[in-house]
Amino acid sequence: MAYYELTIKINSPFRDNLIQKLTEAGCLGVIEQDNGIIAYFPETIDINAISGHISLFKALLDKSGQPSDITFNHKSIPHEDWNETWKKGFHAIDIGERFTILPPWEEKKKDRINIIIDPAMAFGTGHHETTRSCLVLLEKYADKTGKDTFLDLGTGTGVLAIAASKLGYRQVVGIDTDPLAVEAAQKNIELNQTPDVQISQGGLTELSENFDVIAANLISGVLVQLASLLAAHLKSGGIAILSGILFGQEDDVIEAMKVEGLKLVEKYPDGKWVSLVVKK
């Protein structure tokens, strides 16, 4: 399999909105740079349609009086180069009080909770604000939750599930609708020697058990859609850490959760993103 590499120069404050659009259109991963982003797509994608999305994005910004100076080009890269490309953009990063996320080819850090992540084709290296926020909140609330059952909804690389396991949660489940994410998460569970973490493919409707903590780093629209199912899968007194919410969209999510009986406990902003902690 080969990949498309799209180099997009963008100097607009709406860069994160563009990343979100590309992710929704099937982008496998993004490397952020000072003057833009590099986005990867599978070769099966219709690259002309993606170019169309970007042009439309630019046109909408221009029209709304926010001229953006976006330019882009793409090239095809063969499979063998894929991992090398990722390696260049992926280094160890400290998060919160105790976590370090690192790729398998870097040395573990002493006195930290090391989480080894080989991103493969999944989202969740810890470099994105939303993953980072989830980890900070996970660490902050771990001692307040009894550390019993934990669900990572939309597990991606498995990073949050592995973190929960290393923090001492008794039973950790990760689910994802994307088979490539499931494959990546399983590999990372092996790398971290956390075999008790159970990963499966699917969504909330496939799960029968309820949890003390649910982490869901999705996007606002999906969080709103899933509010009722999410509340149903939380134990009474349980908390949900919700992320992937762009600044300005948090009230919709808070309202949807409130309707389901979940109370806001904390708002945690990071850059253009906001994460929420809600309690049943």
**Contacting positions for ligand SAH (CB under 6 A):** 122-124, 131, 134, 152-156, 159-160, 175-178, 181, 203, 217-218, 222
- Residues contacting 78, CB < 8 A, separation 6+: 2
Nearest CA among 129, 124, 106, 12 for reference residue 59? 12
CB of 154 to ligand SAH, least distance (A): 2
Calpha distance 159→174 (Å, rounded): 10
Smallest distance from the beta carbon of 15 to ligand SAH, in angstroms?
Answer: 18
Nearer to ligand SAH, 73 or 225 (CB): 225
CB of 7 to ligand SAH, least distance (A): 23
Q: How far is the CB of 110 from ligand SAH (least distance, A)?
A: 25
Integer Cα distance of 154 and 160 in angstroms:
10
Nearer to ligand SAH, 178 or 183 (CB): 178
Considering beta carbons, is residue 5 or 152 the nearer one to ligand SAH? 152
CB 178 to ligand SAH: min, Å: 4
**Spatial contact of 68 and 61, defined as CB atoms under 8 Å apart:** yes
- Contacts of residue 163, defined as CB under 8 A and 6 or more positions apart, other chains included, come to 99, 113, 115, 135, 138, 139
DSSP assigned state of 211: E
Structure tokens at 279: 């309690």
Query: What is the DSSP-derived secondary structure letter of residue 110?
Result: T
Residue 36 or 154 having the CB closest to ligand SAH: 154
Query: Is there a contact between 223 and 244 (Cβ–Cβ < 8 Å)?
Result: yes
Task: Find the shortest distance in angstroms from Cβ 244 to ligand SAH.
Answer: 7
Please state, in angstroms and rounded to a whole number, the distance separating the CA atoms of residues 226 and 219: 11
Question: Do 120 and 180 form a contact (C-beta atoms < 8 A)?
Answer: yes
The C-alpha atoms of residue 30 and residue 36 are separated, in whole angstroms, by 10
Nearer to ligand SAH, 152 or 212 (CB): 152
Distance CA 146, CA 164 (A): 12
- CB of 155 vs ligand SAH, minimal distance in Å: 5
d(Cα 49, Cα 160) in Å, to the nearest integer?
Answer: 33
The CB-of-69 to ligand SAH minimum distance in angstroms stands at: 29
Q: Which is nearer to ligand SAH, 70 or 274 (CB)?
A: 274
For residue 188, what are its two tokens?
Answer: 């990372």
Q: Of the two residues 133 and 149, which places its CB atom closer to ligand SAH in the complex?
A: 133
